Amino acid sequence: MYQSFIGLEVHIHLLTKTKVFCGCRSAFGDEPNANVCPVCLGYPGVLPVLNREAVKMGCMVAKALNCTIPEKTWFERKQYFYPDMTKNYQISQFASPLGQNGCVDIEGTWGVKRVRIHECHLEEDAGKMIHTGAVSLLDYNRAGVSLLEIVTEPDMETGEQAEVFIQQFRRMVRYLGVCDGNMEEGSLRADANVSINLPGKGLGKKVEIKNLNSSRFVRLGLNYEIERQAKVLDAGKAVTQETRLWNQNRDQTEPMRHKENAQDYRYFPEPDLPVFEPDAAFLKSVEDAMVELPLPRQKRLENECGVSPEQAAIICEERAFADYFESAVAAALRISSGLDKKSAASRIANWLLTDIKHILARDGVALSAIGSFTLTVDRFARLVAMTADGSLSTKNAKQALELALSEDRDPAVIIREKGWEQITDPAKIAEVVALVEQEEAATIAEAREAAAAKNQKRRRTLAAFLVGKALEKTQGRADPRVVGKQMQAIIDAVNGGA
Ligand code: ADP
Ligand code: ZN
Ligand code: MG
């Protein structure tokens, strides 16, 4: 068996309104070449101006990845020729990346794994080439868009770990609000590096896999490559250090047609941009913009709210969804004095992860858009509080929920109008139970016989039937727990006396 080493290079588009060195709009999907100017088209003699918002967002990611932000950070020119980059160099960072020496934990079937982060650096994206038959078209809208690159150390071992790294990182940058994480649109892109070697022999010859536009492809591509390299070594051959492309139609990696040589980029400091020295005010603005990150939030909800790790993970998938959950718990506690935090949270989690989640999917509301959902937190909390204190049956609560959504009204009002409040008063319920006792005398007798004969199954079936009769008489409004108790008492009483 071999040991494997995986390091990722993840690029994210920062959600700055304008590009990183000019005032052009930074947006996906606009008319080609609509958002360009002499700076991002690389005309001679123009001057780049650093977008501070991009640096701030970059520093937020750096902090979230536990990186050190250096006292001085600057830019270099990374020189190479390619038609998607008219300047023939990319402004990037080389010697002083804005985030250095971090680490992040990833959780999965392997437990907790710490992945060291080598650096995060800010750079400009290149334009986009569109190949159509005999011609290639160039769209420079993307040229100059703020790009943050995160480079990990080769600390991961399996495709699964790399997949989880990307998923957790994606969730993190979405929480921070610095990237939309859309892999299909290329707002989050990953290149995966992998080598294998005999245990204890250190890193092997590395292969870089490109063209991985989903976290699933990252997993598949890496696992394919680990197997492929093992076969090469098993055959007594050496792995070629190269760049390969993931072919999603054939589920395999393939060598890139024209092999890129290790270029000499001739990095040198960008003379047109001053060194950036984050001062106290800047660092405070970064600190103030930070939010509770998804993984710690997940742990906090497990501890504070008693939800299961699986539930906490789903709740925390989107920040807006977790906010909705926590606001609903707080609102339910305000409304209902009988609820404690854990019982409120468990009820709300159950509703949220089953009925509400289904409804959101059905109505095409994204989890991230739940903040503007028709069912406001207060309406939802009232519904939950009413089922918790027994004044509303689950069945009627679900009906009220649907009406509240279709009519955009407070479910509490609907419940009052419909007369759906649950009947919990034992005296009222006793009247109904007495009626059933008269009408179903034969069934009661049979239930008593079953009880006497210790035929529990039969007794339970008959008792359930009798409870059902009583519920029918109240259109389902009688509290089934109270009905059940009273019905049982009737069966037991005579049975005990006989
Ligand atoms: P390059 O010089 O090719 O850019 P770097 O040293 O900058 O290589 O590393 C790029 C990425 O490749 C990093 O994520 C790093 O962890 C990973 N990496 C480097 N060497 C190896 C190796 N031998 N096996 C697996 N991953 C590696
Ligand atoms: Zn521009
Ligand atoms: Mg490198």
Range of the domain at 147: 7-199+260-283
- Average pLDDT in the chain: 93
Q: For position 178, what pLDDT does the model report?
A: 98
**Which residue, 393, 418, 443, sits at the end of a domain?**
418
Q: Based on the fold, state whether residues 354 and 297 are members of the same structural domain.
A: yes
Counting from 1 in the atom list of ligand 1, the atom nearest the Cα of 205 is 23
Q: Does 248 fall in a domain?
A: no
The answer on 269 and 156 residing in a single domain is yes
How many angstroms separate the alpha carbon of residue 7 from the centre of ligand 1?
Answer: 6
Q: Give me the half-sphere count of Cα atoms (radius 13 Å) on the Cβ side of residue 337.
A: 0
Are residues 146 and 122 part of one domain? yes
**Domain membership flag for residue 228:** no
Q: According to the model, what pLDDT value does residue 257 have? A: 65
Q: Specify the ligand 1 atom closest to the Cα of 152.
A: 14
Assign 3-class secondary structure to 426-439.
HHHHHHHHHHHHHH
User: How remote is the CA of residue 9 from the centroid of ligand 1, in Å?
Assistant: 9
pLDDT digits (tens, 9 = 90+) for 213-223: 899 999 999 99
Candidate of 11, 94, 205, 206 to mutate for ligand 1, largest count of ligand atoms within 8 Å of Cβ: 206
Q: Is the per-residue pLDDT at 365 higher than 60?
A: yes
Which tens digit of pLDDT belongs to each residue from 30-45?
999 999 999 999 999 9
Distances (CA, A) of 344 to 348, 383, 465: 6, 12, 31
CA 83 / ligand 3 centre spacing (Å): 22
Mention every residue, 6+ apart, whose C-beta is less than 8 A from residue 280: none
CA atoms in the 13 A half-sphere facing the CB of 427: 0
Is residue 18 located within the same domain as residue 129?
yes
Which ligand is nearest to the Cα of residue 9, counting in written order? 1
Instruction: For residue range 147-178, list pLDDT tens digits in order.
Output: 999 999 999 999 999 999 999 999 999 999 99
- Mark whether 465 and 388 lie in a shared domain: no
The most distant pair of C-alpha atoms in the chain lies apart, rounded to whole Å, by 106
Q: Is 95 within a domain?
A: yes
Q: What is the pLDDT of residue 111?
A: 94
Q: How far is the CA of 94 from the centre of ligand 3 (A)?
A: 9
Confidence class for position 258, pLDDT limits 50, 70, 90: low
Residue environment code for 266-300, b if the CB has 16+ CB neighbours within 10 A, otherwise e:
ebeebeebeebebeeebeeebeeeeeebbbebbee
- Cβ–Cβ under 8 Å, residues 190 and 6: no
Q: Which amino acid is at 90?
A: Q
Residues 78 and 125 in one domain: yes
Residue with tokens 């609903």: 328
Q: Tell me how many domains the chain contains.
A: 3
Rounded to whole angstroms, the Cα distance separating 483 from 434 reads: 11
Do 79 and 88 meet the contact criterion of CB atoms below 8 Å apart?
yes
Statement: residue 262 has pLDDT above 80: no
pLDDT at 497: 45
- What's residue 394's pLDDT? 86
Per-residue pLDDT of 313-336, as tens digits, reads 999 999 999 999 999 999 999 988
Residue 313 burial (10 A CB sphere; 0-12, 13-18, 19+): middle
Give distance in angstroms: CA of 17 to centre of ligand 2: 12
Decide: 354 and 370 in contact? Cβ < 8 Å: no
Nearest CA to ligand 1 atom 11: 7
Q: In this structure, are residues 150 and 117 in contact, taking their beta carbons and an 8 Å threshold?
A: yes
Nearest atom in ligand 1 to 5's CA: 25
CA 72 / ligand 2 centre spacing (Å): 26
* Portion of the chain with pLDDT greater than 90, in percent: 84
138 with 275, same domain: the answer is yes
- Asked whether the beta carbons of 24 and 37 are under 8 A apart, the reply is yes
Pair 327, 439 in one domain: no
Among the listed residues 366, 301, 310, 286, the one whose alpha carbon sits nearest the alpha carbon of residue 120: 286
Mean pLDDT of 420-427: 85
Say which amino acid occupies 257.
Answer: R
- What ligand has the least distance to the C-alpha of 264? 1
Work out the burial of residue 9: count CB atoms within 10 Å of its CB; fewer than 13 is exposed, 13-18 middle, 19 or more buried.
Answer: middle
The pLDDT score that the predictor gives to residue 35 is 97
Mean of pLDDT values over 75-100: 95
Q: Pick the residue whose CA is nearest to atom 2 on ligand 1.
A: 262
Task: Determine, yes or no, domain membership for 221.
Answer: no
418: how many CB neighbours lie within 10 A of its CB? 14
Cα–Cα distance, 174 to 497 (Å, whole number):
68
Domain annotation covers residue 216: no
DSSP state of 389: T
As given in the structure block, the two tokens for residue 8 are 């990722």
In terms of domains, do 79 and 127 share one? Answer: yes
Is 244 part of any domain? no
Q: Is 185 helix (H, G, I), strand (E, B) or coil?
A: coil
Instruction: Please give the DSSP secondary-structure letter assigned to residue 367.
Output: G
What pLDDT score does 337 carry?
A: 79
The residue-averaged pLDDT of 287-307 equals 96
Ligand nearest to the CA of 140: 2
Pocket of ligand 1 (CB under 6 A): 5, 7-9, 151-154, 193-195, 203-204, 206
Residues 275 and 346 in one domain: no
Q: What pLDDT is stored for residue 446 in this prediction?
A: 93
- Structure tokens, 247: 């072919």
pLDDT tens track for 91-122:
999 999 999 999 999 999 999 999 999 999 99
* Residue 494 binned pLDDT confidence (cut-offs 50, 70, 90): low
Are 450 and 386 found together in one domain?
no
Sheet of strand 89-92, all strands in order from the earlier edge strand to the far edge: 89-92, 76-79, 268-269
Q: What is the per-residue burial (b if ≥16 Cβ within 10 Å, else e) of 96-120?
A: bbbbbebebebeeeeeebebebbbb
Atom number of ligand 1 nearest to Cα 262: 3
Q: Which ligand is nearest to the CA of 42?
A: 2
Domain annotation covers residue 250: no
Residue 259, SS3 per DSSP = coil
The last residue of a domain, from among 251, 283, 315: 283
Please tell me the distance from the alpha carbon of residue 7 to that of residue 102, in angstroms, as a whole number.
14
> Is 233 a member of any domain?
no
Q: Please give the model's pTM, rounded to 2 decimal places.
A: 0.86
Whether residue 344 is found in the same domain as residue 400 = yes
Write out pLDDT tens, residues 199-240.
999 999 999 999 898 999 999 999 999 999 999 999 999 999
Strands 207-212 and 242-247: parallel
User: What pLDDT was estimated at residue 418?
Assistant: 86
How much of the chain, in percent, has pLDDT values that exceed 70?
98
Q: How many CA atoms lie within 13 A of 3 on its CB side?
A: 12
How far is ligand 2, taken at its centre, from the CA of residue 38, in Å? Answer: 6
pLDDT value of residue 481: 87
Q: Are 184 and 160 in contact (CB under 8 A)?
A: no
